[in-house]
Structure 1
Amino acid sequence: MMYDYDVAIIGSGISGSMLAAILARNGVKVIVLDAGTHPRFAVGESMVPESAVLLELMAARYDIPELAYPGNIAEINRHIGSSAAGIKLAFSFAWNGFRKEHDIADVVSTPVLAPEAHLFRQDIDAYYVALAARLGAVIRQQARIQAIGIAADGVTLTLADAQQLRTRFVVDAAGYRAPLADALKLREGARPMQANTRSLFTHMVNVDLYEDVI
């Protein structure tokens, strides 16, 4: 097979774009394919010390100091922008009983060891995509995959515009949509999970402090 790229990465979130940056920095011919575009909403804002240390380790291991910036508030403000993160002071959990008045005893709040970054993922994800592109990765947004052909010597990806890309390896970083998992039928036979719950999330500004409200 004649290859267009060494590695194709499906999905340009934090993991996909970070991997693309590392591969491109080390001379691998890589393309990132994403059905959506940046900037966009994403969930996963909390930067904890363990994550910051991992970013620093990868930055040192692969000689890409920019990988570590989102783990440090000062570096975020300096290299990415002052709107890319807020300051997180605690992990807080509040229980509210159905049709019951709020009880302060039902709140658990654990202070963090030092002021940490509460990431604005829309900016951070776009930053990592731009980093990968600057290091040589090809970024294709609005590139939806229609078919995946797997052979012994490589993979052929067919896009919605009928273009075909031939690559040695494919990394699926698309999350729960995972087209490679569908193509390989990896979900078949897995026991479905049932949960009578719902997760609601949002970003808010100008919210009163909990201590002031109570």
Structure 2
Amino acid sequence: MKEYSDYYISNNYDIDDKNIAVVKKTNESEAGSEQDVNDYLNLLYYIRNNDMSIHANYDKDDWFNGNNYAMWRVNEPIQFKNLFVNTLCDMKNINFKDSRVTKEVEKIRKKTSFILINENYIRYLIDEIQEEDGPVAHINKNIDIFKYWFINSKIILISQIKKLFDFKLAVEVTINSNSFINGTILVNHFNTITTNKYTDEYFTKNILYVTGKPAADKIKIEEMDFK
């Protein structure tokens, strides 16, 4: 179990430790002020006395459950909101990039033993599958459904971010590099760009961080152009 503290949250979520409140055991302030404890207790009272199946009632809930006995929040949420939105966009643009999803799903397909699948369906007489195109085709169909669910869900993700934060439509951002010999480019502090051209969607209301990282201490990146 992680020991949540203002240092841990600051170090792992890139949030100023002076902008964090941590409450443990419902009434002990480890970071922040007594007002933060009162705010948290008021929140508990609010949850217990309101219908939390109503989506609008969640607007008040800005505390995050660290573990069984610790809760934390960002006192000034603009910084955290920026980090949160950028992380979701990066997941959509980088972690779940179409080509990456396709590559990983096809690895799963190759590892699938279709001979055993066919024998299994025959053994257990799964007639409804046999009456279609056969068990192998059925499994391939479901793998395709799985793959395209990941690919298409990104559209929903962007639309939900836009709706939740009342953003305008996401715009296409392009980052170019003529060489990676002297260093690399980081997007939002964590994601290393390894191609000479990176293009994807971000929101104009949200700060996008682009950082030049030298390959060695003695190397100096002399110029970065923004257009």
**Greater C-alpha radius of gyration:** 2
Question: TM-score band (shorter)?
Answer: under 0.3
TM-score, L = length of structure 1: 0.23
TM-score, L = length of structure 2: 0.22
The structure where helix makes up a greater share of residues is 2
The structure where strand makes up a greater share of residues is 1
